[in-house]
Amino acid sequence: MKYVLIMYLVLCFLHTKSQDTIIVYDVYNKTMDTILPVVFDTTIVDDHTSTSTGNFGNKILLSLNPPSTNLFSGSHFSDIIPVENFFSVIDYPIRTTVSIMPYEADTLLGTTCSGLLVGPDMVLTASHCVYISWAGGWQYDSLHIIPAYNNGQIQTNLSSSMASQYYIFKSIYNGNLNPDIALIKLKDPIGIEVGWQGLAFNLDTSYFTNRVFHKLSYPNGINYFDTTKVYNGDTLYYNYGYIDFLVPPGLGVYGANAIGGQGGSSLFYTDNDSAYFSYGVFSLSASYRHTIIDQEIFYQFKNIIENHGYLVPINQITDIENNIKIYPNPFNLSAIIQFDNPQASVYTFTMKDLTGRIVRRITDINSDALIINRENLSSGLYFFLLESEGLRKIQGKVVIQD
């Protein structure tokens, strides 16, 4: 609690604080850009971004009580066990953990890191998974992001995507080791189908006491404390329990040690209702140390997820499907989209394909229906957004078939 009081006193003097600049690396063009710091209110003690179970559904319940067996020595946190011993890997939130598989000179190198979907097209991971500070270089030619990869198999009923951009803090780019945390933007918004978890921070250290946290990851290497255990990165593992709150920038478990491939995996909390939030990303083996998501990391990443990600800030969407009708859907030549518009508000319609490319835009809609003509569009899945001048947003999807 004394840390909270000290933090609070400091924040009262600062009021607002700007963040470190973000370096953006474009994988395809091999170019770099920057995102300037944003300003945030430092008196806010906790916050989080949006979550989604995705269109695939199948949400399951995770334990809210700590384990009593298979524990790390002297802890209340379990050692890793294959996910399939507990759950189906395609259930939510299990499937939001992704395998990060690198390619070099068109050769697949196998799983190198773990990550977590935190938006339709955003993955949270460690910065060392995309950039090596001491070597001064970006990692690999490209990265394949695969949800629920297990036993060497890609789930054919779930979409995967290649990475298109990396986001790291400028301090990392300049050679520092912290904060070892990054975002990866995907070429395709697979989170719409798979779902995603949110980012969160909390300045009250007591929040982390006697609260069960969960971890999903892809270990790849030898357990140096038990050399009989060797992992090859092709299987999703799970462990959970109470954590020891360490002095920032770390969350960890005393007596626990991680394995290669777990880098970039999250410690997340859930209440099995609406809270599915990552509070830290694995960065150091000793004591299972995870880079804690503090205010600076949170608000800079929130800005990227909501303003540089797919379509619009998802937490501003007021209605996904309950007040909208599309018929026919799937359609071949044309379809009618009908929605509630009792105030005759003026809407703009935007439709995108799976790559995020805008394929249709209709403005000045003041009725409660519109017609979409196929024209030259290819068959497949498309996502649309209806946005009013009053900032009401309605999102949906249509399927064109031959």
Tens digits of per-residue pLDDT, 191-204? 988 999 999 999 99
Tell me: pLDDT of 12 over 60.
no
More confident residue, 389 or 95: 95
Tell me: pLDDT of 263 over 80.
yes
pLDDT of residue 157: 84
38-62 average pLDDT score: 91
Indicate the Cα dihedral angle 337, 340, 342, 348, nearest 10°.
-50
Residue with tokens 């050679």: 175
121-133 average pLDDT score: 92
CATH fold for domain 324-400: Immunoglobulin-like (2.60.40)
278-292 average pLDDT score: 90
Reported residue count of the chain is 402
pLDDT of residue 323: 64
How far from chain centre, in Å, is Cα 246?
24
- How far apart CA 24 and CA 185 sit, in angstroms, is 10
Q: Which of 93-102, 153-162, 334-343, 367-376 has the highest mean pLDDT?
A: 93-102
3-state secondary structure the chain: CHHHHHHHHHHHHHCEEECCCEEEEECCCCEEEEECCCEEECCCCEEECCCECCCCCCECCCCCCCCCCCECCCCCEECCEEHHHCCCCCCECHHHEEEEEEEECCEECCCCEEEEEEECCEEEECHHHCEECCCCEECCCEEEEEECCECCECCCCCCCEEEEEEEEEHHHHCCCCCCCCEEEEECCCCHHHHCECEEEEECCHHHHCCCCEEEEECCEEECCCCCCCEEECCCCEEEEECCEECCCCEEECCCCECCCCCCCCEEEEECCCCCEEEEEEEEECECCEEEECCHHHHHHHHHHHHHCCCCCCHHHCCECCCCEEEECCCECCEEEEEECCCCCCCEEEEEECCCCCEEEEEEEECCCEEEEECCCCCCEEEEEEEEECCCCEEEEEEEECC
pLDDT of residue 391: 60
117-141 average pLDDT score: 88
Residue intervals of the chain classified under CATH 2.60.40.3080 are: 324-400
Q: Which residues pair with 26 in a beta bridge?
A: 31, 165
pLDDT of residue 77: 96
Band (16; pLDDT cuts 50, 70, 90): very low
> Which of 147-161, 193-207, 251-265, 381-395 is least confident?
381-395
More confident residue, 93 or 383: 93
Q: Which residues pair with 128 in a beta bridge?
A: none
Residue intervals of the chain classified under CATH 2.40.10.10 are: 2-311
Q: Is 129 left (phi over 0), alpha (psi -120 to 50) or beta?
A: alpha
More confident residue, 13 or 339: 339
Tell me: pLDDT of 2 over 50.
no
Q: Which CATH superfamily is domain 2-311 in?
A: Trypsin-like serine proteases (2.40.10.10)
Tell me: pLDDT of 317 over 50.
no
Average pLDDT, the chain: 85
